[in-house]
Structure 1
Amino acid sequence: MILSRLLPVCISLTALCACGGNKGITPQHRDITEMVFASGVLEAYDQYNLTAQQDGYLVQLKFNEGDLVNKGQPLAVIDNHQNILNARSAEELHGIAARNTQPNAPALLQIQANIQSAEAKLQLDQQQADRYQRLYQHNSVSRLEYENAQLAAVSSKAALDALREQYNNQKINAQQQEVSQRFISGVNQVTQEQNQIKAVTSGRIYQKQKQLGDYVRKGDVIAVIGDPELIYAKLNVDETNMAKLKEGQPVVIRLNTNKSKTYQATIHQILPSFDAASQSFLVKAYFTDSLDFRIAGTQLEANVITGEKKNALVIPRAYLQYGNTVLLKKGRQKTTVQTGIVSSDWVEILGGINENTVLIQDNK
């Protein structure tokens, strides 16, 4: 609809320029539409890259372009035997560490046996010390013999306490080792599972970027997945035009696959950051009519309608010179004009000249 309104304007411009030129023209009252041009691509909503988490060869690819996939669905398998071996080794070491924490663990049983022996020895030494104490009280043994008996009991008690402390330390060390090995086993299990690549969210496979047998490195993109229901236009807008854009403005879009057809859309979101890769600002435009070509990545051209005015005083854009000046036919003098809306063909004149002013082009 917008393009059909612009068509008579373009025809009038051609006729005007044909009869104008250095013969002179005068400003005219016409409807004018201001548009901001932008390039872009079709993109699926919530689009993301399915990437490899490990290095290796792709030994399985379980999808094709256009397939619908569910969240968590396995889509590819990477052959990485090192991850598998590491996971098995860590699991076995964790099993050993776990068994070492049990009461029947060999190290604990050995210390427990030593404790039992030390307890028996302490009991005997304590009995001997008590007996020598009674004998000493009756002057039946020497003081040295009495003190040696007492010392033997004290030593046995210290040896028993040391063994009990050793038993507790062994249990703590075994438990710490079990925790450490359990963590390492879990990490290696996750790493092994990363050999199997799964869909992060449900969606459609829009691009398949690797083939069966390809060697991939961590971070390589294997496929592009996005929402199958919502396709929008991602526009790249030059920074000089960003001040003119607002959410809700109408957009006319042509896909490069069929430039004879246009689609209507509106600006849905203006992203708040500058895109360094494209050296432009990014704008999302949602289609307001039916989109019959839904292949993500399709390049497009867009014109954002930023302003319209009825019966505006305009001149052909070719007559506006640097510094917003125009060349008067009378005396070939330059004068400055105040401009409003600027379209691809016309410039709105707000002041400086009127509809009776005759303009010519500078052919120098």
Structure 2
Amino acid sequence: MKSAIFRIFFICGLVIACNPPLETIQPTKKNISESVFASGLIKAKNQYRAYANSNGILLSILVEEGQLVKEGQILLEVSNESAKFSRESAELARNFNDRKENELKIKELEVSIEFAKNKFENDSLLLIRQKNLWSKGIGTANELEQRQLNFQNSKTQFLSAQLRYQDYKRELEFNERNASKNLAISKSLEGDLMLKSKIDGKVYALLVEKGEMVNPQTPLAIIGSDEDFILEMQIDEYDVVKIQSNQRVLIKMDSYRGEVFEAKITKINPIMDEQTKSFTAEAEFVKGPKVLYPNMNFEANILIQTKENALTIPRAYLFKDQYVIDSNKDTIQVEVGLKDYQLVEIKSGISEQTILIKPSL
């Protein structure tokens, strides 16, 4: 008899072990928010890579990583002998064509004009006098013709001297302007050998070492704001239409575990990356952590909409996105509203009194 009772209890134990109690819940009213997940990197505001402006050898590095710099401050210097010689040649040409350096030539032409003018005026008077004598029957036709010829020659020389003077002045002015422009270009090219900061900020990284060959495709440094940072995140193309400026963003960072920071959307780039099939969006902290560095990782939940006192159930109790199972094991169709990572809003189909069974996988 005892053996039979033991077998009965043993069988019942197996039945209970094989059929664990069903997990059940009742819907509850809670606040729920729909959000879009995104991940990204922290960047310094106005962060940029500084590139060499010309070919050459990195002659000197005038700053250190972590150093604060001002806009226009020289960061690095590139050596380029060709640019230096070009500037020196342009300076020589500019000096050669400088008006002050050509004053002697100008004075010489002015003297020539004055001499030609005096000769022209003298020959003019002699011609008038000869004509007066000829009118009185004094002199010969040959003398009159000679006076006319002298007058024409001196007139031509006077006009020619004036033209030479004007042409030389035009040529001098042109050469002077051209030489000045060439010198300005040469100085600009030589100035390009000095890499200057575009902003007031911080040197976050120096990417080259002294003595290296560089060219315009060579990034030399990373510069950015030392106080203001932006959150650059990637948004899936299926979610980007839900994103708008000024939406709240909840930020979690590995460097600040257990803390949640609030930010807001400030910019959505209007072009999709064809490789990642995502859009880039930017946000700024409403109140951020005290210490931040570029390229720190973060995870973001962009809040699309929020509803208070909504009827909710855990997402694990919903299957096929529209059905639940009650305590009678009946399948009930429900109308679903907002969803987050744990809860789902139920707009109709069940009430707070409905007991639900967790669907088996």
Scaled by the length of structure 1, what TM-score is found?
0.79
- Counterpart AA for 2:339: V
Q: Tell me the residue number matched to 2:112.
A: 114
- Counterpart AA for 1:158: T
Taking a change above 3 Å as real, the CA distance of residues 352 and 281 of structure 1, as seen in their structure-2 partners, is farther
Query: Secondary structure, in 3 states, of the residue corresponding to 1:186?
Result: helix
Q: Tell me the residue number matched to 1:91.
A: 91
Q: Tell me the residue number matched to 1:149.
A: 147
Equivalent-residue separation in structure 2 for 1:334 and 1:244 (angstroms): 33
Equivalent-residue separation in structure 2 for 1:157 and 1:26 (angstroms): 120
Residues 274-310 of structure 1: CA distance to partner in whole angstroms, max 9, x if unpaired? 4648631312131525334x22112222223444445
Residues 300-332 of structure 1: CA distance to partner in whole angstroms, max 9, x if unpaired? 22223444445432344356566x533668998
State whether structure 2 residue 262 is matched by structure 1 residue 270: no
Equivalent-residue separation in structure 1 for 2:82 and 2:164 (angstroms): 38
Residues 315-357 of structure 1: CA distance to partner in whole angstroms, max 9, x if unpaired? 44356566x533668998784x432211112221213555538
Q: Tell me the residue number matched to 1:253.
A: 252
Say which is worse superposed, 350-359 or 156-165, in terms of deviation: 350-359
Query: Secondary structure, in 3 states, of the residue corresponding to 1:37?
Result: strand
Say which is worse superposed, 71-80 or 23-32, in terms of deviation: 23-32
Equivalent-residue separation in structure 1 for 2:323 and 2:194 (angstroms): 68
What is the root-mean-square deviation in Å for CA atoms of aligned residues? 3.3
Scaled by the length of structure 2, what TM-score is found?
0.79
Taking a change above 3 Å as real, the CA distance of residues 219 and 312 of structure 1, as seen in their structure-2 partners, is same
- Residue 27 of structure 1 contacts residue 314 of structure 1 at CA under 8 Å; is this kept in 2? no
- Counterpart AA for 2:73: Q
Give 1:89 shift: 1.0
Give 1:362 shift: 8.7
Query: Secondary structure, in 3 states, of the residue corresponding to 2:300?
Result: strand
Give 1:62 shift: 1.9
Equivalent-residue separation in structure 2 for 1:273 and 1:200 (angstroms): 26
Taking a change above 3 Å as real, the CA distance of residues 304 and 145 of structure 1, as seen in their structure-2 partners, is same
- Counterpart AA for 1:48: Y
Q: Tell me the residue number matched to 2:28.
A: 29
Give 1:82 shift: 1.2
Equivalent-residue separation in structure 2 for 1:171 and 1:101 (angstroms): 13
Residues 88-116 of structure 1: CA distance to partner in whole angstroms, max 9, x if unpaired? 11111111111467432x3x344334334
Q: Tell me the residue number matched to 1:341.
A: 338
Equivalent-residue separation in structure 2 for 1:246 and 1:347 (angstroms): 26
Query: Secondary structure, in 3 states, of the residue corresponding to 1:281?
Result: strand
Taking a change above 3 Å as real, the CA distance of residues 78 and 19 of structure 1, as seen in their structure-2 partners, is farther
Equivalent-residue separation in structure 2 for 1:311 and 1:138 (angstroms): 131
- Counterpart AA for 1:81: E
Gaps of 5+ in 2: 1-18
Query: Secondary structure, in 3 states, of the residue corresponding to 1:103?
Result: helix
- Residue 263 of structure 1 contacts residue 289 of structure 1 at CA under 8 Å; is this kept in 2? no
Say which is worse superposed, 159-168 or 48-57, in terms of deviation: 48-57
Equivalent-residue separation in structure 2 for 1:88 and 1:326 (angstroms): 84
Give 1:211 shift: 2.1
- Residue 58 of structure 1 contacts residue 211 of structure 1 at CA under 8 Å; is this kept in 2? yes
- Identity over the aligned pairs, expressed in percent? 21
Gaps of 5+ in 1: 1-17
Equivalent-residue separation in structure 2 for 1:83 and 1:19 (angstroms): 85
- Counterpart AA for 2:81: H
Q: How does 1:203-222 map to 2 (within 5 A)?
A: 203-222=201-220
Count of aligned pairs between the two proteins: 337
Equivalent-residue separation in structure 2 for 1:56 and 1:261 (angstroms): 50
Match of 2:194 among 193, 196, 199: 196
- Residue 100 of structure 1 contacts residue 174 of structure 1 at CA under 8 Å; is this kept in 2? no
Give 1:167 shift: 0.3
Equivalent-residue separation in structure 2 for 1:30 and 1:211 (angstroms): 62
Query: Secondary structure, in 3 states, of the residue corresponding to 1:82?
Result: helix
